[in-house]
Amino acid sequence: MANKRDLKKDINYVLGDIIEAVYVWEYSNTDKDNSKSEAIIDDAIETFDDLISKLNTKVEENKKAHFNAIKSDLEVKGRALIERINKLG
């Protein structure tokens, strides 16, 4: 079972890398409209806040299932954000 600290690091790294990828795209495509890329950044920050909030919720029963659900949610939402970045080009 992953502990809370490692899961927080995973959330931070994954979403931080996604935001960094958007900044790289914006820097490389200064001639294009940034409204879609800014929306991706906003959604990544919203996802971060949501996942950290879920992680900090006190769970008395079945912590493993709770952490696995958060990890799965991070994977699904992270992949969706990456797909949106790939469609920016």
Mean pLDDT for the stretch of residues 21-28: 95
> Is the pTM of the predicted complex or chain greater than 0.85?
yes
CA 89 – CA 87 distance, rounded (Å): 6
Q: What percentage of the chain has pLDDT greater than the value 70?
A: 98
Q: With 70 as the cut, is the pLDDT of residue 10 above it? A: yes
| Beta carbons of 36 and 88 less than 8 angstroms apart | yes
Question: Residue 69 sits in which domain range?
Answer: 4-88
Total number of domains constituting the chain = 1
Mean pLDDT of the chain: 93
- Identify the residue whose tokens are 């970045």: 85
pLDDT band at 60 (very low <50, low <70, confident <90, very high): confident
| Beta carbons of 59 and 4 less than 8 angstroms apart | no
